[in-house]
Amino acid sequence: MTTATSALPLTFSAEVAKARENAAPIVALESTIITHGMPYPQNLEVARQVEQDIRDAGAVPATIAVIRGALHIGLDDDQLSDLAQAKDVAKLSRADMAVCIASGGTGATTVAATMIAANLAGIEVFATGGIGGVHKGAEDSFDISADLMELAQTPVTVIAAGAKAILDVPKTLEVLETQGVPVITVGQDSFPAFWSAGSDLQSPLRLDDAAALAKAHRTRAAMGLPGGQLVANPIPAAEEIPADELAPIIAQAQSEADAQGVHGKGVTPFLLQRIFELTEGRSLTANIALVRNNARLGAKIAANLVNLPR
């Protein structure tokens, strides 16, 4: 393990440290998908699989987590295994990340926290599953993910299969537009709907390959514009769950959450679990497929960025 010299020391894995020395492409990965996304040992298997997808596509993976107060940029296999089995791991976002580090805690990074850490480490690309956004009923609850504000201020390209389909996606897109975040769909005009490749929502922007996405990232930086860009990468059609099939399932899960008084941070895990049950596990299979697809695209974007002047 190698520790960087800075006001906030970052602990790099040997693999990531070598990639930095060689100016090789690096793709950041979040860790809440490991600690809060699926059970052990499947979470470890998927984490290893996604990291290998990035290596196979020509880049280096950097899974990010806070472990006993140290901000780790890249985990070795033992650390990955330990995290996959850890209990009571904090779920870190912008608001609580510093407190966890300062108090010597252990926490897994959400989209917002991973973007912050990636930027501190000089990593420009981050692949995830889906971003958070505006929750249904937000006009009353004001429940809006910190991910959206992070995209507006932290210069990292985030690859996702859209926003999580349990959210109010039209309002999510409106907030991103208000915040000046480029929302770029890859290869199609409709905005992807996470488990489904398409939706009835028009994507704000479209680009068709990794080279163009890398150039857009660099151009934004050259213009002095704050924030990153959201790359919406549709799940492969062969692995999607069609939107018309999912819509009544999501509605049923939301109705049950309302009836049981589930609110705040409890809403998302409740809905995802019920959708998993109602789709007989297909939602998780699709989730794994889209994360791997995003990782592969992230590696290609990172490889293109290496060849573009800063």
Which among 128, 113, 33 has a CA at the least distance from the CA of 73? 113
Beta strands in 51-102 (DSSP E): 60-67, 70-73, 90-92
pLDDT of residue 141: 80
Q: What is the pTM of this model?
A: 0.95
> Residue 264 pLDDT > 50, yes or no?
yes
215 is an active site residue? no
Which among 112, 111, 174, 162 has a CA at the least distance from the CA of 138? 174
The one catalytic residue among 15, 124, 150, 164: 164
- Give the model confidence (pLDDT) of 182-196 as tens digits: 999 999 999 999 999
Binding residues for substrate: 91, 111, 145-147
Q: Is 58 helix (H, G, I), strand (E, B) or coil?
A: coil
- Give the model confidence (pLDDT) of 59-85 as tens digits: 999 999 999 999 999 999 999 999 999
46 near 12, Cβ under 8 Å? no
300 is an active site residue? no
The more confident residue out of 143 and 71 is 71
Binding residues: 91, 111, 143, 145-147
Binding residues for Mn(2+): 143
